[in-house]
Every structure is written in structure tokens, then in C-alpha cells.
């Protein structure tokens, strides 16, 4: 049954990929000379891509926290695995900052490129200035940016200290930070969302899994006026306290 479900989902997702690839290519061509309009429509369709993916893979989640982030906010979350991208992409309209390794993932690499994902290669420390500038440009265009400041996926038992460098983009743009704590409820330790195996094995596990449930805790925003180190520290403590004090459903 598991492999049949995986095959069915894969067949459906090939069509999903084709549709959103075509949409993304058309948007890039038609709005090539208008970056602001391209930002607007790419972020709109990226959210629908995330919603469609969650529907295909049966990722179910609830949001705790009523306040919606202001456009142009930096949304920071703990990072457990690949489903984080789709679930947070459903919750928030914006762009992702992602590790450069995604460029090696079949299907997702092309969609990530069309979705104007900001890629971060941890092997090249000198590129951080360029990343900060790209994030700042999107924030100043009233586009939110979704970031995993742990800079790695964890097994969900602890929150890794947040890297502070990219928070400089918020300082320069004078925008707010919105901490988010993401929790899965599959009863596994580590959760199946954890990207600890090969990408192929990880995706087969997700394709075979009947349902994955999660809770997204949207925590109080942190206003502008602080240093990058303060922003990283406060948001880390906010996410960690919420995550470690969670109650299992």
C-alpha cells in the first residue's frame, strides 16, 4: 500500500511540477523588466505551489497565533526537514533562503530557481554580503523572506543556536523579525520530516507516509532598532522556549 501511494503521489506531482514550471517560466518572461511585479507574482504562485504540495503529500497543520506578519518581515523558524519548506510556504507569502545543496535535488532545484530562492553556500563565507543584500532588497520591496537561521536541519530534539550574520539585512532595512516554532506530531524520534538520510530515501519516506501533522506557532514579532546579534539571540530564545515547552497532541 505504501509504495502504491508513493507511486500515485509521484505521478500527480509530475503534473504539479509541469504546471508550476510553466507558470514560473511565463511570469519570468512577461515581467523580466519589472522586478517589483515579478516579486509580487512569483511569491503569489510560490505559495500556491506550497499549498498544492501539502495537499498531494497530505501535510496537515494548524497555526497558533492570530497576527499575520507585516509584508516585508523576516520570518525565522527552526528547521527539521523538507516539509518545513512546504508548510511555511503555505503559511506565509514570501521568498526562501535555502542551502545551495538544493540545486542538486531533482524537480525542486528548477522550481526553487523559478521561485527566486536565495541560495546560501556555507562553503563560501565571502558571499554573506551578497545574501544580506538580496534579502534586504526583497524586504524593502515589502516581500517577506523565510529563513532557517540554524543553517542546518536537525532531528528535532533541540534548537541549534541561530547564526546572526543574515539578521544584518533586517537591521539595514529597518524591518521586523517574526519568530516561528514548527512542531511535528508523527510520534517518531526523530520525526520523519528529519532530513538525515539520502534525499532519495527521505522523499520515498514522505511519499509513502499517509499523513504528517504539524503545528506552526507564530510568536510575537521583534521590532526594528536592535543589533543583528540581539535579533538572533531574542528570536532564538523565543523559538526554543516555545518549542521545548510544547505539549504533545
- How much of the chain is in helix, strand and coil states, percent to nearest 5? 50, 15, 35
DSSP string, 60-100: EEEEE--PPPPTT-EEEE---BTHHHHHHHHH--EEEEEEG
Domain total in the chain: 1
Query: Containing domain of residue 109, as a range?
Result: 2-244
For residue 249, the model assigns a pLDDT of: 44
pLDDT in the model for residue 122 = 63
Q: What's the confidence (pLDDT) of residue 104? A: 67
Task: Indicate the SS3 state at residue 241.
Answer: helix
Q: With residue 217 as reference, give the H or E element that holds it.
A: strand 212-218
CATH number assigned to the domain comprising residue 112: 3.40.1130
What DSSP assignment string belongs to 146-210? EE-TT-S---SSSPPPPP-GGGHHHHHHT--EEEEEEEE-S--SS-TTB--S-HHHHHHHHHH-S
pLDDT at 118: 87
Phi, psi of 228 (to 5 degrees): -65, -35
Q: Do 154 and 199 meet the contact criterion of CB atoms below 8 Å apart?
A: no
Q: pTM for this structure?
A: 0.91
Residue 62 resides in a domain: yes
Q: Do 94 and 143 meet the contact criterion of CB atoms below 8 Å apart?
A: yes
Residue 249 falls inside a structural domain? no
Question: 20: phi > 0 → left, psi -120 to 50 → alpha, else beta; which?
Answer: alpha
Residue 126 lies in a domain: yes
pLDDT tens string 82-120:
899 999 999 999 999 887 666 666 667 777 888 888 887
Whole-angstrom Cα distance, residue 227 to residue 220? Answer: 18
Which pLDDT score, from 0 to 100, does residue 100 have? 66
Average pLDDT of adjacent 10-residue blocks, the chain of 249 residues:
88 92 93 90 93 95 87 95 93 87 69 84 75 93 94 88 94 95 90 83 91 95 92 96 74
pLDDT at 3: 85
Residues 82, 195: contact at Cβ < 8 Å? yes
Amino acid at each position: 500500500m505504501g509504495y502504491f501511494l508513493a507511486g500515485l503521489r509521484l505521478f500527480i506531482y509530475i503534473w504539479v511540477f509541469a504546471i508550476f514550471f510553466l507558470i514560473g517560466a511565463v511570469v519570468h518572461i512577461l515581467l523580466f523588466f519589472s522586478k517589483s511585479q515579478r516579486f509580487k507574482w512569483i511569491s503569489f504562485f510560490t505559495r500556491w505551489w506550497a499549498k498544492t504540495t501539502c495537499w498531494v503529500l497530505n501535510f496537515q497543520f494548524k497555526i497558533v497565533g492570530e497576527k499575520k506578519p507585516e509584508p516585508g518581515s523576516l520570518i525565522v523558524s527552526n528547521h527539521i526537514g523538507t516539509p518545513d519548506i512546504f508548510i511555511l510556504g503555505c503559511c506565509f507569502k514570501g521568498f526562501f533562503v535555502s542551502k545551495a545543496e538544493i540545486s542538486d535535488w531533482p524537480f525542486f532545484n528548477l522550481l526553487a530557481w523559478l521561485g527566486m530562492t536565495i541560495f546560501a553556500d556555507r562553503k563560501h563565507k565571502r558571499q554573506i554580503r551578497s545574501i544580506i543584500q538580496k534579502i534586504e532588497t526583497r524586504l524593502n520591496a515589502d516581500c517577506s523572506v523565510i529563513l532557517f537561521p540554524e543553517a542546518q536541519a536537525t532531528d528535532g530534539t533541540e534548537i541549534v543556536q541561530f547564526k546572526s550574520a543574515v539578521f544584518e539585512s533586517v537591521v539595514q532595512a529597518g524591518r521586523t523579525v517574526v519568530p516561528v516554532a514548527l512542531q511535528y506530531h508523527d510520534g517518531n524520534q526523530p520525526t520523519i520530516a528529519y532530513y538525515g538520510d539520502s534525499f532519495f530515501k527521505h522523499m520515498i519516506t514522505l511519499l509513502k507516509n499517509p499523513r504528517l501533522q504539524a503545528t506552526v506557532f507564530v510568536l510575537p514579532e521583534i521590532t526594528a532598532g536592535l543589533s543583528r546579534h540581539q535579533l538572533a539571540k531574542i528570536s532564538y530564545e523565543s523559538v526554543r522556549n516555545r518549542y521545548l515547552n510544547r505539549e504533545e497532541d
